Structure 1
Amino acid sequence: MPSVFVRTSGCNLRCTWCDTPYASWNPEGPEMTLDAVMEAVLQHPTRFVVVTGGEPMVAKDMRNFLGRLHAAGKHITVETAGTIAPGDAPVDLASISPKLANSTPSVEKAGAGWAARHEETRLQPAVLREWLEQARDYQLKFVISTETDLQEAQHVVASIGIAVPPEKVLLMPEGVSLEVMRTRYDLLVKACLTHGYRLSPRLHIELFGNTRGT
């Protein structure tokens, strides 16, 4: 789906396999006013806008920005880890990626403070439930590399406390290269066929490789 991507800098997590460290581990990028961002968005013909990060819900005035997109008639997807409540933000599709244990960084990589903070913050079942109940539509997207990850993802879905149709669960192979991702597909395809989940291949890596801006 042709879409305009708005990527915010800053994140309240430090996933060890993060592929956008420039928006999470070491936030960077130009500061822009909401007017400037809206002007850039409106230059594109598509009505689909994906707001991502980092964690977009930590960005200043995010709910105001989402309201302006909504008023402009845009279809809004928010990519979030689901650790910050949506409030009254107008969201057409909440693309929620709850972080599993495989995301927690080592103390050596992130430092003791960030490693502990990530582990304490990464899963918020009550907040996940609020997203599912508030957004017009949603999907739960899990980064999977092993059978253990898959079992943990199923436990997370159950912990939310409401019925989640299996087609709302997307399984994404962990990895930033075709070679690594393709080692995950046997496990993911089998799980999709068995449970009715959906496979979420990383199309941008298939097409462009792990390159910034794709």
Structure 2
Amino acid sequence: MNQKQKILRIVEENFFQRGIIHRITIDEISSKLGMSKKTIYKHFPSKEALISEMIKNFTSKIKNQIESVLEKNDSAVVKIKNFILIIGAIASKVNDEWLFTVKNLYPDIWKYIEDFRNKMIIKNISKIIEQGKKEGLVVDIPTQIIINVFTGAVRNVVTPDFILNNNFSLQEAMKYTLTIFINGILTDKGKKSYKNTSVENELEDNFSNII
């Protein structure tokens, strides 16, 4: 692991575990790494640049996980289940203060996260939905309608403002949103198959083991 990777790893650990970006100082990172501030600034000219690179690193891992799900020869229901587990893992690592801080202090990073979220949902959920229709597991509703309903729900429910104003945790908001979505798009056959995957238990047990 090179110097840049070590720096990113320390920031990611503090970023997700503590969720207090604005309180993490370069001095603290320097102390944890046993590395001079000059060396850190050589790789990252500012704290925002460092956090931005860490986010891109993290989203790259998410992208790889999602693409791995899509490449497997599984039914659409299994892929939906695994997609949910990935999203759940993200929610379990990102606490509420993380959302509020990024949106308020780092708008450019927040925009990158929203763009990434929307593009990955549109691109990959569409593929799973089309597969599910062919398998008779997903209802015959235009895919674009399903996508827009889902992205709209995520955009309006899994957000700092909604969570702050309605006393939900990020994990709760994500879980309820996905449950409503899944029950709305699956046929009876799909719901039976989905129930047999024991997703509810896996959501609780495997959030932290995916990413």
Which one has the bigger strand percentage?
1
State the structure with more CA Rg. 2
TM-score (norm 1): 0.28
Which one has the bigger helix percentage?
2
